Amino acid sequence: MGVPVLYAVVLASISQSLSLQIQNPLYGSKSSQENGSLDGSSCESKPEQQVFMNSNNFSVDIRMPGVVPTGSDTYLCKAFPVLTSRDAYIVDFIPHASMDTVHHMILFGCQTPVSTSSYWDCGSVQGTCEDEASIMYAWARNAPRTKLPKDVGFKVGRNSGMSYFVLQIHYGDVSAFRDHHKDCSGLTLQMTSKPQPFIAGIYLLMSVDTVILPGKRVTDADIACDYTSYPIYPFAFRTHTHHLGKVVSGYRIRDGKWTLIGRQSPQLPQAFYPANKEVSVKYGDTIAARCVFTGEGRTSKTYIGGTSADEMCNFYVMYYMDSKHAVPYMNCMETGSKELFQHIPAEANIPITVSPGQMNAMMHMGHSPDHQGNTLAGDPKKAEPVLDQDYHLEQVSAWPQNPLQLGQVSGLALDSDYNLVIFHRGDHRWEADTFSIQYRYQPRSLGPIQQSTILVVDPAKGNILKASGRNMFYLPHGITTDKDNNYWVTDVALHQVLKVSSDGRDRILLALGEAFTPGTDNNHFCQPTDVAVDAETGNIFVSDGYCNSRILKFSADGNYLAGFFAGSSDRRRRVPFKIPHSLVFLPDRREVCVADRENGRIQCFIAETGEFVKEIKKAEFGGEVFAITYSPGGDGLIFAVNGQSQYASAPLRGFVINYSTEDILDTFSPSTKDFKMPHDIIESSDGSVFVGDAVSNLVFKFTTEKFHRSVKKAGIEVQQLEEKETFFQTKLRPDLNVSKTAVKPEKHTVAQQPQSHEEAEEEERKQSAPKAERAAGVLPVIIITTLLLIPLLIVITLGLFICWKRNNRYEVKSEPSSVGGILGKIRGKAVGGLNLGNFFASHKGYSRQGFDQLSTEGSDQERNDEDSSDSENEEYSALPPPQSTS
């Protein structure tokens, strides 16, 4: 399908924007809005208005200002500013439109609409918004009002990132305007200023390339995407096609099992209907949808497009999320594979017949004695699973399952598959004499690090998936990835920024700076620390660094664009950077933030211009901030780790900070070992947080998942004991028994499947016969075995008695026979992860000082303070220590 058609589809169904028009509260009445009239044709009786119900609750009308479309399939849009100066939450959508006039309407939210004047034609190239937009509501075919569950709302206003509503209306058949009336269709939004614990959002699955052949009885449009964000809890769904759609179904796929979210005929009123209450979607699940079309009665191919003669295949999921991680809009436009959809339930292929009686009944579905309109779900706090309101990160002490043999961990990142990427220094260390007073790397003659410095690790278990970066780097520091999964790294010894392929071939795709040559101009760096990548433009930002105090901006192909320095709201008191140590790009805000290490602060700048935005500096940081990362959920979350300062004393820990309010929401630290030098931090797509430590040579994993906490509090020691016993038994059994042990879980799983009484009786009958036969043959074997063992036991007993008599002068002390102790011994020998001798093979003549501390149990021994203090000070200080005269 051509680009223009695809653009029309995206324009018609995905474009997103928000705004809110606050009007004179003297107009209209509350009761007229509550009734939710569907007729939007009479502009005189539908003035734009806002009616305040009390100090917290109010309603806002968003209407077309008396428009007359000039032709069929016209898309018109109008923007409304959100004038409230505080956060507000939409809890009810009341439509004012008729399908006789309006084909469908969509409410978007965005920062910058195409126009802020009157309405405009948004079916053209202009579209709805100039920036990214979010769909908040959609209506078609006389759908009733949509009332959200208790404690759930769409967030708008001050901290939502949505400055405007944009109402888009598709006028299908222009003949509806033969009487020359003006249209004022639109919505009434019922809102509250009371903060809602759960934030609503829309997930849209949409087909873009389906072709319906003329006369063909059935054509399927399949869409599927892997879900990679925080958990969502669907409470409503909506289907949308044009005339050829027969049924649309949406599913969650988990571990191969398809669970229905919702299924409906798109020929019924296209409202949001209650979803399956038992469904939640978490990281690793797949969301899928199928639209079933018929080409009967058509004489030519029908494509996906924006006109009434075209078709659409849309499945909307309205969900709620924990307010701390809320994402207002997500979409999926990937065609599902034939192999995946071979397993779709048969119900998805059965058309739903629509009768006039059903059409009338569906107009009134969902009403209850307590609420008017279509109330979508119950109290989310009573729904399962319940969202945990106690936000706290705790260490996953069992991660990694097998020890990782690491050097100084300097950088962390995520690749395009959401795996953890670890950048470490192998057997190189930053010592007191590593650099000269001119910042030149001294042990250059020893060559690069021979070990794999870049490890790709499974974030769930900690297994190494891929290793690369041999013989490339001298003293690694920062790492990030781009949308093509290339690595962008900094090496403080090389004074360079390198773009490296991730295909295992270790190709340097781009090199910025001159190797081993520090400098202060735009073509040189001096110990650069980190890189941030703007995925939209490809531009990169470099924090430079230990001996320069600046941020440099380059194009994707390495051309210098700009540079900027520390900012301040008061230019007269601007404090320069003192080791800009870590960078992160904020895609939703188009900003770049820096951890200004020795100043103990976080500063943020507009990525395009370098204009200073804000500074976050807390006493809890203790004077130093080593690293930061960012999550766009909710108001935006900054994750940070601090460091030891010679000027202040504060515990080493991680911080979760609300970007908008700058409040510290949580602090966290390891439960097994203390941080020694937390050097980098990254958040994974499932909400887990990883921290790399450059002194303990460890990576710590933290999680907020409820099951992790509840299991720990409910007796994880018992579960660990059972796991250890199983491990011990497996190690002592011969291989044949190990194979049998591996089969047991599968049999156990099968036994859990529900059976009918007849099936159960038949299974019992089949099992009883062999049991009887085995019982008849076992008894003679037991008797013979016992007779043979009795003489052997007598001999062993006599031998033990004689040994005891000979050695009774010695005191015998037995070690505790705990399963944990046995397991530790077995794992120390049988589970080694990487071999230190091979993995950290030293360069000829190079000192291995520091790596003698590494153990095969996971590189977790306490550091030798006497031997490591110099390198630690070097890592902390902006300037190298003075040369010794002795």
Q: Which residues are catalytic?
A: 103-104, 168, 170, 240, 242, 312
HEC profile of 132-182 = CCEEEEEEECCCCCEECCCCEEEEEECCCCECEEEEEEEECCHHHHCCCCC
Q: Which residues pair with 238 in a beta bridge?
A: 316
Instruction: With beta carbons less than 8 A apart as the criterion, state whether 210 and 313 touch.
Output: yes
What are the phi and psi torsion angles at 121 (to 5°)? -80, 105
CB atoms within 10 A of CB 229: 20
Tokens in use for 364?
Answer: 């009134």
Instruction: With beta carbons less than 8 A apart as the criterion, state whether 165 and 108 touch.
Output: yes
Q: Which residue has the tokens 């935005």?
A: 613
The length of the chain, given as a count of residues: 886
Distance CA 798, CA 683 (A): 64
Q: What is the longest distance spanned by two Cα atoms in the chain?
A: 117
HEC profile of 659-694 = CCCCCEEEEECCCCCCCCCEEEEEECCCCCEEEEEC
Distance CA 873, CA 880 (A): 9
Tokens in use for 182?
Answer: 């003006």
Q: Which residues pair with 530 in a beta bridge?
A: 543
Burial (CB < 10 A; 0-12, 13-18, 19+), residue 272, is buried
Distance CA 416, CA 405 (A): 24
Distance CA 252, CA 726 (A): 33
Q: Which residues pair with 411 in a beta bridge?
A: 423
Distance CA 411, CA 480 (A): 8
Closest CA to 683 of 630, 755, 760: 630
Instruction: With beta carbons less than 8 A apart as the criterion, state whether 154 and 89 touch.
Output: yes
**Burial 90-122, CB ≥16 within 10 A → b, else e:** bbbbbbbbbbebbbbbbbbbbbebbeeeebbeb
Distance CA 108, CA 137 (A): 7
